[in-house]
Amino acid sequence: MRAFLLRHAESRSNAATGVVSLPEEEGDRLSERGQRQAEAAAAVIADRLAISRIVCSPMGRARETAEPIARATGIEPETWDWIHELREPPDYARLSGEEQQRQRWSNRMREHADDPHHSPGGGESFADIAERVERTFERLAADGVDRTLLVGHGIFLRFGFFLTVLGKSFGPADIDWMWRIGSLNCGISTFEHVRNEGSPNPADIDGWRCVSWMAPTAGPEDATGTGGGGPGN
């Protein structure tokens, strides 16, 4: 059984320069380039992936990314309210760009590597987001719906990759390694759920494996994200 995980298209926060994040009411919408990316992703998905279901983060940038996909495939998205972006403290988006970088999720998690439950006031801990990601993969496996498309967020998907590869050994001390893998806006990652069923082949694992990571759906002129040609975060 396969699941396709799509990072949302470029948001206004992604496109902003000098800051990591704009206030949600301003930044949680697609940029003009993000709208083009979403349309390009919809064409690729409708033409090549034969998806059977769409599940989506409740956040605006994910829902706006899912809209053209729904039109192109005729599949109405369902919202899973726990697959939202990592939650920062309420005042984070109003800090200066330099201070946002200093207090960024990976920095604060690494600085408290001995405590995966550490979180600043109102912010989300390493353990919090890991639990949400594990819940998501467990739900996908339990539902057993082949070729589900999940429209979500870069940090969430990176956690999914590392939890798939490292399992319970993945912890806050490893957090900086997450920057070693790119995260393209509207990049598609493919995960496969496998059952060993007594096979002697070590490749026939029980559980999830990553088949491909962040395949681009937009042309080079519109590629953005960490590893893309435009703004990256």
Structure confidence by residue, pLDDT tens digits, 7-40 = 999 999 999 888 888 888 888 999 999 999 999 9
pLDDT tens readout for residues 41-57: 999 999 999 999 999 99
Which residue has 């059952």 as its token pair?
195
Q: Which helix (H) or strand (E) holds 225?
A: strand 225-226
- d(C-alpha 214, C-alpha 212), whole Å: 7
- Look at residue 229 in the predicted model and tell me its pLDDT: 64
Q: Domains of the chain: which residue ranges?
A: 2-226
What's the average model confidence in pLDDT over 179-183?
92
Domain 2-226 in CATH 3.40.50.1240? The answer is yes
What's the average model confidence in pLDDT over 107-121?
93
Q: Which helix (H) or strand (E) holds 7?
A: strand 2-7
pLDDT higher than 90, residue 231: no
Query: Quick one: CA torsion of 71, 36, 30, 148, rounded to 10 degrees?
Result: 40
- d(C-alpha 94, C-alpha 168), whole Å: 34
